[in-house]
Amino acid sequence: MTTQTATNPLYEALQGFSVIDCDTHYTEPPDLWTSRAPAKYRDQVPHLRTVNGSDMWFVAGDILLGPVGLTVVTEGGEKVLGKLGIRDFSVLERAAYEVGPRLQMMDRLGIHAQIVYPNASGFANAAFLRVPDEELRTICTTIYNDAVAEWQAESGGRLFPQALLPFWDLDATLKEMRRCVEDLKLKGFTITDTPERVGLPDYGTPHWQPFWELANDLRAPLNFHIGSAGGGFSPFLDSPWPSMGPERKMAIGATCIYLDNARMISNLLFSGLFDRYPNLKLVSVESGIGWIPFVIEAAEYQLDEMCPTEGKALQRRPTEYFRDHIYACFWFEDYGPRVMMDKIGVGNILFETDFPHPTCLYPKSQEHLANILSDLSEETRRRVLQQNASELYGIPV
């Protein structure tokens, strides 16, 4: 599929490409878990209740997971500003949770395929840590993966949800990784970026060696989405001054949360993981790209200044590790994609819309892309809009 024809000559910059949107979200329908759960757990898996006029997810009886989803596009396609989400599921845009309307929306926006992340479970499954029963947690995880595999198949090769993992149980994680890739044919995984915040060993410890080995063997991308840390940390609560109003708090939290992924990238660049597992590919999702040249430059400088001994264990430089193993997504930015692609690496950049979240490009993604990419070469546009994602996730175009 190519982007739609438009009268504005700027849109010629988008013609001929199968645009792949690398960060969107699935607003889970109310019966996703209850319709698939074993009888033993049917009243324990996530379900919606209306509380004080708001639809909320609950699990294991009365454990609150959160609101219906960070969905701000209403039925009819209007985008609500100044809110993190709409309270009533019944007024949400059906493209947020149904395949047919989603594909129609993608056609209107000129998008061939989308990578899809969850909402209710947390962006990397951390919300289910509130459930004391580990078996129930894992069942919630596998049911979600079953549901989105059906969604992927129904989409005819255009929607690619990233699988959840029961990361609190390493053996269950390895089992689910194999099942998702080999049986469900899912294309990748969404992972927490800081397991140490929830009482698990950090990614540099031997505990995770089997995880990295299997990810390396499966060659499935590992995606760390902003806000996936868990453990109670929230840039929306911890970054703004308490005296700020609610809308300014949201804006400040949204600004600071992008940079939180710099921590994960920095750790990866100094970890030595890529020396041992050369097939690993990791994606910084919804974090933007304009700050990345500074982080890489700082890593290069600090390696020489701070690591005269430990640095000798690394076989390559931070820049080389980033270019070969790490990707990052942009959406609203102008300066970063227009000016800094060469500094970041044209082969490391992915495009996203973040539909249907509060800061998504919807419904003006074509207009934005045309404005910022029209002066770049066709080769660069093709790689950023299509080829990087096609090769990374194995999506035919």
Q: Which tens digit of pLDDT belongs to each residue from 126-169?
A: 999 999 999 999 999 999 999 999 999 999 999 999 999 999 99
User: 4 in a domain, yes or no?
Assistant: no
- For the chain, the average pLDDT equals 93
User: 2 in a domain, yes or no?
Assistant: no
User: 95 in a domain, yes or no?
Assistant: yes
Structural domain total, the chain: 1
Q: Which tens digit of pLDDT belongs to each residue from 111-137?
A: 999 999 999 999 999 999 999 999 999
User: 3 in a domain, yes or no?
Assistant: no
230 or 340, higher pLDDT: 340
The predicted pLDDT at position 228 comes to: 85
Inter-axis angle of helices 170-178 and 209-218, nearest 10: 0
User: 212 in a domain, yes or no?
Assistant: yes
Q: Which tens digit of pLDDT belongs to each residue from 288-333?
A: 999 999 999 999 999 999 999 999 999 999 999 999 999 999 999 9
pLDDT at 3 over 50: no
User: 198 in a domain, yes or no?
Assistant: yes
Lowest mean pLDDT among 157-171, 232-246, 265-279: 232-246
User: 246 in a domain, yes or no?
Assistant: yes
Q: How confident is the model at residue 11 (pLDDT cuts 50, 70, 90)?
A: low
The domain of 346 spans 9-393
User: 251 in a domain, yes or no?
Assistant: yes
The whole-angstrom separation of Cα 232 and Cα 331 is: 27
pLDDT at 179 over 90: yes
pTM of the model: 0.95
Q: How confident is the model at residue 5 (pLDDT cuts 50, 70, 90)?
A: very low
The whole-angstrom separation of Cα 322 and Cα 338 is: 20
The predicted pLDDT at position 232 comes to: 57
CATH number at residue 370: 3.20.20.140
